[in-house]
């Protein structure tokens, strides 16, 4: 490997993960990023009249995201994330329902008490949800219900509209970025099994305590730079060609470079555009990636003149707003304000709404949820919608996702849209980067994994449903 050069196109989490993995070996690693900053969709922006960076959308990880957390550990980023072991669900009347695991029961029993405390669901709904989870859990269910859409499956399992909206949608729309009428049963099953049924730490939430740009564009870049990774910012790759067993990369404003290895770590709607016709013919699945459906996520940023709550974050029921994150006091121009960010996944229905109207609606929902006696004054607002934030986890998606390795040694794809077994998440992006690195390493006879194993499966979950067996070859 010594003296071999690797070009990675895309400085998002997939590209950073691939660079981190390959930096452990004697490669010369170059990362090309079209934008000024790294991090991709896990990035931030700055407004002229606001001194602090604003995350485009709130990104969180869970305890089951072992590869993402492993990347953060290797790059010394874990101190930039806060681990929260308790969630707070707020019903339509403003009542708070804590959701926290037992301190001593193993999975899957650790969340039984938390589930019972969600009194916005009837006893009948609780029982039918338990029955559905029991049928969903065994590995054989993934095959039995392959091709089903989640809403159809829930109706088949006699789930009420209340249970669907207050339980299943609250979890799955945020995780999978699409309405349940489009989401596949297979993707929904993975969310519940990996997040709640396999391990007692899997459901814990990791929330950034710094702007994402500071984490990935500054800290991660510094650590990777210390490992010898070269970054080329504002250097869009125009075309990649292949001849004499090397990849010729045209980038920036007429610059060129030659590399023995190449990883494309860019979104699915951009990836086919950079390859020469010969290379594209070697990856026939790229001809179909335009069939991958995207889904938008809207983030509503509010700067208020007084605090609304002391809770760090909350999940809102029966409202347009889904998650709210409390970022505490901030300085806005010459005024101290209180900054809240509300995330709305699968926000297609909001497309024609004026930003000012959406911000006012969200503020009214927050006032109602937190029971504020005096409505705060909105000092400022910003609505950011990422139209292609995630791919929709439809039943057809798996047949469209390509593997990271290709027929040509030294050529690999990365991105959460490639075949990782995960939905469109930070974990999926990091896993894809590690799998792409493994594809490059196989060219040199290295066949060991570079990522992190899944959390171990609790013995009760193994006994009840055979979980973990699907992980073994």
For the segment 420-440, the average pLDDT, to the nearest whole number, is 97
**Least confident stretch, 45-54, 312-321, 387-396:** 45-54
Task: Compute φ and ψ for 398, nearest 5 degrees.
Answer: -65, -35
- Both 285 and 298 in one domain: the answer is no
Cα–Cα distance measured from residue 76 to residue 218, given in angstroms and rounded to the nearest whole number: 12
Beta bridge partners of 336: 331
> Is there a domain that residue 191 lies in?
yes
Cα–Cα distance measured from residue 392 to residue 163, given in angstroms and rounded to the nearest whole number: 22
Give just the sign of the alpha carbon dihedral 168, 174, 179, 180: negative
> Is there a domain that residue 309 lies in?
yes
- Both 261 and 308 in one domain: the answer is no
> Is there a domain that residue 64 lies in?
no
Task: Answer yes or no: are the C-beta atoms of 183 and 335 closer than 8 Å.
Answer: no
Cα–Cα distance measured from residue 82 to residue 326, given in angstroms and rounded to the nearest whole number: 13
Give the model's pLDDT for residue 330: 86
pLDDT band at 455 (very low <50, low <70, confident <90, very high): very high
CATH number at residue 378: 3.90.660.10
Given a cut of 90, whether residue 177 has pLDDT beyond it is no
Give the model's pLDDT for residue 165: 96
SS3 assignment, position 155: helix
Given a cut of 70, whether residue 67 has pLDDT beyond it is yes
φ/ψ region of 368 (left if φ > 0, alpha if ψ in -120 to 50, else beta) reads alpha
> Is there a domain that residue 55 lies in?
no
Give the model's pLDDT for residue 372: 80
pLDDT band at 1 (very low <50, low <70, confident <90, very high): confident
pLDDT tens figures, 216-226: 999 999 999 99
Give the model's pLDDT for residue 473: 38
> Is there a domain that residue 189 lies in?
yes
Task: Answer yes or no: are the C-beta atoms of 192 and 165 closer than 8 Å.
Answer: no
- Both 311 and 416 in one domain: the answer is no
Give the model's pLDDT for residue 472: 44
Domain that holds residue 431: 5-46+210-291+394-442
pLDDT tens figures, 70-121: 999 999 999 999 999 999 999 999 999 999 999 999 999 999 999 999 999 9
- Both 359 and 408 in one domain: the answer is no
Q: What counts of helices (H) and strands (E) characterise the chain?
A: 16, 20
- Both 93 and 196 in one domain: the answer is yes
pLDDT band at 48 (very low <50, low <70, confident <90, very high): low
Cα–Cα distance measured from residue 242 to residue 248, given in angstroms and rounded to the nearest whole number: 6
- Both 90 and 199 in one domain: the answer is yes
Q: Residue 149 gets which letter from DSSP?
A: B
DSSP letter for each residue of 387-418: EEEEE---TTHHHHPPPSB-SSTTEEE-STTS
pLDDT tens figures, 330-359: 888 788 999 999 999 999 999 889 999 999
Task: Answer yes or no: are the C-beta atoms of 338 and 303 closer than 8 Å.
Answer: yes
Please indicate if the annotation marks 33 as binding a ligand.
yes
In whole numbers, what is the pLDDT of the chain averaged over residues? 94
- Both 370 and 465 in one domain: the answer is no
Instruction: Give the count of domains, the chain.
Output: 3
How, if at all, do strands 255-259 and 5-9 pair? unpaired
**Least confident stretch, 32-46, 140-154, 206-220, 402-416:** 32-46
- Both 91 and 194 in one domain: the answer is yes
Cα–Cα distance measured from residue 78 to residue 70, given in angstroms and rounded to the nearest whole number: 9
Token digits for 289? Answer: 């990636």
Given a cut of 70, whether residue 471 has pLDDT beyond it is no
Please indicate if the annotation marks 237 as binding a ligand.
yes
Task: Say if pTM beats, i.e. exceeds, 0.85.
Answer: yes
- Both 429 and 316 in one domain: the answer is no
Give the model's pLDDT for residue 53: 73
- Both 116 and 244 in one domain: the answer is no
Give the model's pLDDT for residue 51: 58
- Both 381 and 427 in one domain: the answer is no
- Both 464 and 383 in one domain: the answer is no
CATH number at residue 242: 3.50.50.60
SS (H, E, C) 232-282: ECCCCEEEEEEECCEEEEEECCCEEEEECEEEECCCCCCHHHHECHHHHHC
> Is there a domain that residue 451 lies in?
no
> Is there a domain that residue 376 lies in?
yes
Cα–Cα distance measured from residue 94 to residue 390, given in angstroms and rounded to the nearest whole number: 30
């Amino acid at each position: 490997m010594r003296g071999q050069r690797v070009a990675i196109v895309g400085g998002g989490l997939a590209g950073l993960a691939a660079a981190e993995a390959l930096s452990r070996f004697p490669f010369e690693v170059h990362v090309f990023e079209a934008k000024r900053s790294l991090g991709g969709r896990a990035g931030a922006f700055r407004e002229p009249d606001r001194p602090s960076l604003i995350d485009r959308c709130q990104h969180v990880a869970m305890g089951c995201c072992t590869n993402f957390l492993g990347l953060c550990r290797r790059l010394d980023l874990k101190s930039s994330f806060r681990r929260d072991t308790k969630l707070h669900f707020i019903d339509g009347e403003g009542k708070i329902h804590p959701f926290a695991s037992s301190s001593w029961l193993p999975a899957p029993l650790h969340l039984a008490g938390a589930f019972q405390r969600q009194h916005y669901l009837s006893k009948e709904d609780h029982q039918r949800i338990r029955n559905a989870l029991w049928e969903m859990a065994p590995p054989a269910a993934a095959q039995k219900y392959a091709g089903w859409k989640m809403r159809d499956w829930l109706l088949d399992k006699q789930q009420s509209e209340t249970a669907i909206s207050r339980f299943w949608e609250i979890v799955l729309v945020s995780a999978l970025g699409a309405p349940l009428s489009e989401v596949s049963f297979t993707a929904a099953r993975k969310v519940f099994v990996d997040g709640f049924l396999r391990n007692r730490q899997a459901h814990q939430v990791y929330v950034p305590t710094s702007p994402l740009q500071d984490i990935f564009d500054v800290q991660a870049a510094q650590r990777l730079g210390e490992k010898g990774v070269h970054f080329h910012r504002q250097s869009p790759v125009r075309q990649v060609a292949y001849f004499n067993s090397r990849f010729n990369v045209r980038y920036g404003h007429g610059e060129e470079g030659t590399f023995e290895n190449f990883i494309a770590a860019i979104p699915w709607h951009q990836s086919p555009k950079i390859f020469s016709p010969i290379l594209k013919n070697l990856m026939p699945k790229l001809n179909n990636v335009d069939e991958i459906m995207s889904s938008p996520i809207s983030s509503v940023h509010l700067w208020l003149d007084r605090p609304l709550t002391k809770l760090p974050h909350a999940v809102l029921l029966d409202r347009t707003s889904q998650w709210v994150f409390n970022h505490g006091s901030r300085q806005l121009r010459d005024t101290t304000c209180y900054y809240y960010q509300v995330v709305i996944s699968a926000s297609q229905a909001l497309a024609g709404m004026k930003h000012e109207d959406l911000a006012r609606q969200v503020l009214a929902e927050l006032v109602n949820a937190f029971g504020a006696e005096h409505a705060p004054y909105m000092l400022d607002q910003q609505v950011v919608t990422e139209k292609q934030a995630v791919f929709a986890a439809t039943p057809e998606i798996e047949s469209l996702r390509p593997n990271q390795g290709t027929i040509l040694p030294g050529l690999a794809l990365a991105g959460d849209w490639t075949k990782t077994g995960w939905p469109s998440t930070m974990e999926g992006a990091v896993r894809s980067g590690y799998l792409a690195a493994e594809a490059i390493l196989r060219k040199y006879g290295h066949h060991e994994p570079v990522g992190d194993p899944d959390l171990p499966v609790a013995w009760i979950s193994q006994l009840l449903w055979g979980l973990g067996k699907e992980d073994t070859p």
